[in-house]
Amino acid sequence: MVEGKFTGRFKIVKSTADHLILNPGGIVDYRFKRTKELPETCRRRNTKKEKSFETNFKAFWETFDKNYAFFEERNLNWQKVYNNYLPKVKKLKTKREFALVLQEIIGKFKDGHINLEIPDSILENQSKSKSVESSITKDHIVSAIDSIYLKEINSYNNGVIKWGSVQDSNIGYIRISDMNDFANYVPKEYQNTAKFDSIYNLSKYSAEPLEQFQDEINGINRIMKKVLIDLKDNDSVVVDLRFNGGGYETVALRLLSYFVSEEKEIIKIKARIENGFTPAQKISLKPETKNPKKIYLLISPVTASAAEIFALGSLRYSNIEILGTKSAGIFSEILWKKLPIGWEYSLSNEVYMDREGRPYEKEGVPVDYELNYPTERFKFYKSFYSNNKFSDLAIEKVLKGDFSD
């Protein structure tokens, strides 16, 4: 430990003989209580039994049983999963068979924050399912928006944020594509070039995690001041998160702070523990502007994770109206674990709520004006075309000022 850091990954918030509070650079503090001794499973050496499929399945199941927060929301009877799959696991012969069983179980959750990292060699002969992706991609959509609807377009960090004005109007437009990669690592001459990623990643991974988080915040502060200056004469601003799949929650909330002028408690967060939940931590937002504009926030079923946290915080502010279709409903930080066999996996164990304590997992952040976007990603992209003609109904609605529906 050096100057309040814990191996560069955690900031020490508070430390006593029996308690430790750490922050990993996010908005949630993690509290630890000293135990009298290590659990028995941590004290014993790995044995052949530890590597058996049955033992690994039970470890997987028990970890979810004690930590996963959304069995009810995801309509999953976890005890029934155990009863149905344990007999099958006992008959397995290969790691590949075991991996396929775990993948099948994970598929039942329909939770985008559950991952299973399996060595490529184990599944190298697995047949690839045929792609159902449409020929229309996100890049096609955003390119069409830029060319048809926008003028005076500016871009930062390979388009992680783009801004300009809507044609034939006094409305500003900001599209935020990710909630990461805002650090000011890349010189101007290498922006939007093939060298961008290599230069950015070299600086990013040379820094310790806490430094990376601070670099992100510094980058946001720098670029958002320019964005707001460029859009200062616009009457209102469209903020487009429809294509944003997430990133860092700290990035999301710092960005939101540039569109509001009041400090408010916006979010509560609690975590699943074996016998219930932790007390909720209250998150407040400190504004970075004194004179906020009218904001039209665009979201879709593709809007996920940290982008949803931006939208969730927006519910507390009267100058922000939300258009589109409810977001993906995947909020929790990812809790990573490791099986005895060595495979890493993740799960959702945090509940994000609004100020009144209402959770939005699975159901997503609601909208003020519904545009009925399809929930499937590629059908969503396709919805921008009618008879091969491109049209953005959200921007059209803002241009017309038609919010009667």
Task: Give the gyration radius of the chain's Cα atoms.
Answer: 23
Q: What is the CATH number of the domain that holds 147?
A: 3.90.226.10
Total domain count, the chain: 2
Widest distance between CA atoms in the chain: 71
Q: Is residue 334 part of a domain?
A: no
Calpha distance 107→347 (Å, rounded):
12
In order along its 405 residues, the chain shows pLDDT tens digits of 445 556 677 788 888 888 887 877 778 877 888 888 777 766 666 555 567 999 999 999 999 999 999 999 999 999 999 999 999 999 999 999 999 999 999 999 999 999 999 998 888 766 555 555 568 899 999 999 999 999 999 999 999 999 999 999 999 999 999 999 999 999 999 998 899 999 999 999 999 989 999 999 999 999 999 999 999 999 999 999 999 999 999 999 999 999 999 999 999 999 999 889 999 999 999 999 988 999 999 999 999 999 999 999 999 999 999 999 999 999 998 999 999 999 999 999 999 999 999 999 999 999 999 999 999 999 999 999 998 899 999 999 999 987 665
- Judge if 160 and 284 occupy the same domain: yes
- Judge if 174 and 296 occupy the same domain: yes
Q: Is residue 166 part of a domain?
A: yes
**Helix 53-67 vs helix 78-90: angle between axes, to the nearest 10 degrees?**
170
Domain span at residue 298 reads: 138-267+276-327+360-400
Residue 359: predicted pLDDT? 95
Q: Is residue 66 part of a domain?
A: no
- Judge if 33 and 160 occupy the same domain: no
Calpha distance 145→151 (Å, rounded):
10
Tell whether pTM > 0.85.
yes
Residue 114 CB partners (closer than 8 Å, separation 6+): 106, 345, 346, 347, 348
- Judge if 291 and 393 occupy the same domain: yes
Q: Is residue 289 part of a domain?
A: yes
- Judge if 206 and 319 occupy the same domain: yes
- Judge if 144 and 40 occupy the same domain: no
Calpha distance 353→26 (Å, rounded):
16
Q: Is residue 90 part of a domain?
A: no
List of E strands, 24-94: 30-33
**Contact predicate 178/220, CB 8 Å:** no
Q: Is residue 371 part of a domain?
A: yes
Calpha distance 310→250 (Å, rounded):
10
Q: Is residue 340 part of a domain?
A: no
- Judge if 177 and 304 occupy the same domain: yes
The SS3 assignment for 395 reads helix
What are phi and psi for residue 31, nearest 5 degrees? -110, 130
Q: Is residue 94 part of a domain?
A: no
- Judge if 223 and 367 occupy the same domain: yes
Residue 405: predicted pLDDT? 55
Provide the total of helices (H) and of strands (E) in the chain, helices listed first: 11, 20
